Amino acid sequence: MRVTKHKLKELMKEKINKAGLSEEHADIAADVLAFADARGIHSHGAVRVDYYAERIAKGGLNANPDFKFEKTGPSTAVFDGDNASGHVAAKLAMDEAIKMAKESGLAAVGIKRIGHSGAISYFSRQAAKEQLIGLSVCQSDPMVVPFGGAEPYYGTNPITFCAPGKDGALLTFDMATTVQAWGKVLDARSKHKDIPDTWAVNEKGEPTTNPFDVKALLPAAGPKGYGLAMMVDILSGILLGLPFGNKVSSMYHDLTEYRNLGQLHIVINPEFFTDLSGFMENITKTMNDLNNIKPATDFDRVLYPGQDADIREQQYEEKGIEIVDEIYGYLVSDIIHNNSYDHKDPFAE
């Protein structure tokens, strides 16, 4: 099933709103979700709506939060999300970080006590659209084995970076610290497709291609991904006085409870370091230089980071976003949620 981005956003907004989120907050959350699907990050788009709707309906997200923003220094601040939708809290916190960076050249805003915030490149791009550099990291469920370990400790703990080029071009980097994000496994489940045997392990700690057998994910590049996951956990958990490591709350364990997650936005104003026009010109030159690199065997060309998502976004703009029929059927139905996730283990279906 193919739908326009606008139509998809409206369907998701309506579902989340009916589950209990205010129209304003549902609009922001749906915008982040539609952004993910429009860039081909389907693991963080419509496939998640049933889960969010269930958590909202059962009280595990605060539908009437009392947000608090406190500046703690010239370039630092803490945004207390009061366990609201992570999409909403992270977006509003980035709005504040952008204001600070424009004034002082740099902003580091910690966001504490929030729910899952989805595809976090949405927030780094928020900054880049204002001709700033955006960087964001956030913690997540303990479902990744540390290098050399046989049981999960850290989450997929994603990192995103975005810098502005000329004429609205954005150079976007977005990665989980695992070989693949957990949402990619969910996406494979929804499509009943196998996964590569390098993504995850089963209950015996053995590589698996069956997405329904996954019991832990593998860190990207072994010890390197493991180290990055540790860094993200410290910056978005310990730094904010939040639960960390294997103490981070499970996405599925109890949907009536708040998750108390953390995230950190860092925003840099290039004008405080160099000429802005020249900076953006060189970002564009970087993108072009990478495209002009001689491709290796079996590659048509070299893409700059995030270009594959840029291409998909343009294709979806022309042809519509492809959504699994089962998910589309749920979105257009009168069902608020399917009661599928509560009290499941971290690898719930």
Q: For helices 49-57 and 5-19, give the axis angle rounded to 10 degrees.
A: 20
Query: Which of 32, 98, 87 has the alpha carbon at shortest distance from 61?
Result: 87
116 is catalytic: yes
In the chain, where does DSSP find H-type helix? Answer: 5-19, 23-38, 49-57, 86-104, 121-128, 182-191, 223-236, 276-291, 307-319, 325-332
Question: Do β-strands 76-84 and 106-114 pair in parallel, antiparallel, or remain unpaired?
Answer: parallel
Token pair of 102, please?
């424009």
Burial class from Cβ neighbours inside 10 Å (0-12, 13-18, 19+) for residue 26 reads buried
Query: Which of 162, 185, 194, 199 has the alpha carbon at shortest distance from 309?
Result: 162
Q: DSSP 3-state assignment of 83? A: strand
Across the strands, what pairs with 268? 106, 133
In the DSSP assignment, the letter for residue 207 is: B
Given 25, 44, 116, 337, the catalytic residue: 116
Under 8 Å between Cβ of 83 and 113: yes
Q: Active-site residue numbers?
A: 116
